[in-house]
Structure 1
Amino acid sequence: MTTVQAGLTYYKQVNEQVRSINDNEIAIENAIGQRYLGCGSSGKTIIIHGTPGNGLGQYLNGSTIEVFGNAQEAVGDTMNEGDIIIHGNVGDACGYGMRGGRIFIEGDCGYRGGIHMKAYQQHYPVVVIGGKAGSFLGEYQAGGLILVLGIGQDGAYPASNFCGTGMHGGKIVLRCDKAPEGLPRQVLVSEATADDMDRIAPYVEAFCRYFGGDAKALLAQKYHVLSPNPEAGYHQLYTYES
C-alpha cells in the first residue's frame, strides 16, 4: 500500500499524486477538506483518514473508497460503479445523479441525498444511511434504492421534510414504526413485504459487516417503502414505455 500525506497540501496536488500511483492500494492520511479524491477511479482501493472535501468519488468507476471520518458534500456524485464506505456522517447531495455502485454511511446524511438517482440495465445504485437523512431525500429519484436504517431514532421517522418530492422511479425504504405522514403527492407508502425484506437484506448485512451491529435484529424491525405514485407523476416531462 502506498501512503499519501494530505495535510495542508492543495487539493490539486494531492489528486495528481494519487493518480500517479501505480499501486492498487492507496492510503491518504490526514485529509483536511481536499476535494475530488478518488474522482473517476477504477480498480483501486483507497483508504482515507480524516475529512475529505466535496466531490469524494465523483464519477467513481469501480474502485472502493473507505473513509474513517466524516465526508462533505456530493459524495459519489454521478458515480457508475464501486463502493464508498463512510465511517461517519456525510453532507448534502450524497449520491447526486448516481448511476450505479453502493454508498454506505454509518451515521447521518444531509439534505438531498440520492437526488436524481437512476438505474439502467445492470446498473443499480444503492445508498444505505445508518442514522437519519435531511430534507428532500430522494428528490426526483428515477431508480435504485435508498435505505435509511434509523439507528438511534427509536423507531421514529428517520428523514426530514419533503421526502421523495418528484420521485418517478426506484424505492426509498425506511426503518420506522409508523408509516410517514405528510409525504408529497408523488409518493405512495406501504409496509415492507417479505419480498421487500429479501431485497434489502444483503445491504443490511453489508452495512453490519462494515460498521458492526446485528443484521438479524435490524431486519426483524418494521420497515416502510416509498414508491412513485403513477397517478401524480410529471408525465409530460418524461418519456417511458408501459
Structure 2
Amino acid sequence: MILFLLLSIQICRATDLKDFDLSNLTRELDDPYTFTDNEKVVRFNFRGKVGLRDDITTCGDDDCIFQVIYDTEPPLCDCYGVLSTEEPGFFPDDKGIILNYEYRGEYWNRTAELDFKCSKSEKSPFATLISNNRIIIEWNHPQGCPKSKPDPNPDNPNDPNKKKDSKKKLSFGSIMLIIFSVLLVVYFAAGIPLMHFAFKKSGLEMIPFIGFWKCLPGLVIDGVKFCLSPCIKSKGGYTNVKD
C-alpha cells in the first residue's frame, strides 16, 4: 500500500512539456547531433527529422529521428525512431524528460529513447545502449530542468503557497528550550532510579537534590522581591535608638 502511494505521488509530480524551455534544441536536417560509439556513427535530432548523409541513399523512413550508421562498404544505415511516434515521459522529482520513439520496418521493429536529464551544465550526448532493436541516448542539459514558475503574488506574504514552501527555522530560544527539556528528562529519568537502587531512597527522597527543589519556590520569590525592591517604597524605616 505504501509503495502504491509513493508511485502515485511520483506520477502526480510529472509535469508537462510546456514547463520546459525546449527552444533552440532542434537542428537543421543536414546538421544533426552526431557522435561515434564503437565504430558506429549515431545521428539524431531533438524533436526533429534527420537528413540523409551524402554517402547514404536510404535509412528506413524519411521521418527518421535516430540513425545508426555502420562502418561498412558501402555504409549501412538503420532507423531507430520516427518523429510521429513520439511519446514523452518524465523523470521523478522533475529531473528531466524521457522521449520515446519507435520504427516499424518490413523486417525489424526498433525503439529509441532519449533521456534528456536536468543538469547545471551541458554535457555531450552519449549512448547507454545500442542493440539490434533498441538505442538509449542520455543527454545532460540545463534545459532538461523545468522552467522556474513566476510568483503570482510576489507582494503577498500571506500567500498559503509561500507559507507551505518556506522553510521554518528554529529560533535560538526554541533551541535552548528543547535542550533544557531534554536535559530535564534525562536528569529525572537517570537520577530517580539511581537514588532508589544505589542509595535506597523512596518517595520524594528519590528525586536528586530534593532539598534544592523544595527550596526553589522560596528562592524564586526572594529573587523577585529583591529585583522589585528598588521600585517599591518600604513602609518601614529606621528608628532612632536613644541612649
For the superposition of Structure 1 and Structure 2, which TM-score range results when normalised by the shorter chain?
under 0.3
- TM-score scaled by length of structure 1: 0.22
- TM-score scaled by length of structure 2: 0.22
Which structure's residues are more often helix, by fraction? 2
